[in-house]
Amino acid sequence: MDKVITKPRDAWVTKVLFDPLAVPLSYFLGKLGVHPNAITISSLLVAVLAFALMVFFDLPNIFFLLFALLFYLSFLLDCIDGKVARLTGKKSEFGAKLDSKTDNITKILFLVGYVIGPLKEIWLIAFLIVLVHYILHYLFLYRFRLGISSSDFYDTSKGRFLGFFSVFEEEIFMLLLAPITLIEMGIVVVWIVSLVLFTIQQLILLKGETEK
């Protein structure tokens, strides 16, 4: 039955870090009759809470662990909403669009929250990294339009490991692993590493597409 609610191809971080909790919780929430769109909104509310804590409270660095935990919870809920929709037959075009928009807003809230909150002492460096992050995403995912659909993104049978460091792994690096360094510059270093790895992955993909 798990195959019904899980995607046949998905990021390894999702399968390893989130699905072990997301799958049983999806069944539980589905039996309770919780609507998947309500779960999507809950994911956004968790991000709003994290943003408020970052921006309006001058918390010690140990609270970076709390921010990482809140990101995990937000991402977990994002994994659950689609599973509940598939399990209960409540998939809809509106729900898919809501999920997509919420994903984008959630990530922005976390990144901007760090820049104007915990990283305010080095805000310019952090802001430039976030700016480069979105420029790279625009160039690789929209401007170049590499023509890779989500259905084959992790299909290794095609002779290319497209997902060795996709946007999913990048999010985990930037918003889950980086905070546990517990220092501002540690977050910045992990952010830079994640951008480098994502860029390498996209350049390899771009090279493969141009050689066809």
Residue 169 has pLDDT above 50, yes or no: yes
Q: In sequence order, what DSSP letters do the residues of 125-173 get, joined into one string?
A: HHHHHHHHHHHHHIIIIIIS-----GGGTT-GGGS--TTTT-HHHHHHI
Please report, rounded to a whole number, the percentage of residues in the chain having pLDDT higher than 90. Answer: 64
Residue 159 has pLDDT above 50, yes or no: no
Prediction pTM value:
0.89
147 sits in the region (left: phi over 0; alpha: psi -120 to 50; else beta) called left
- Confidence band for 144, pLDDT divided at 50, 70 and 90: confident
- Confidence band for 202, pLDDT divided at 50, 70 and 90: confident
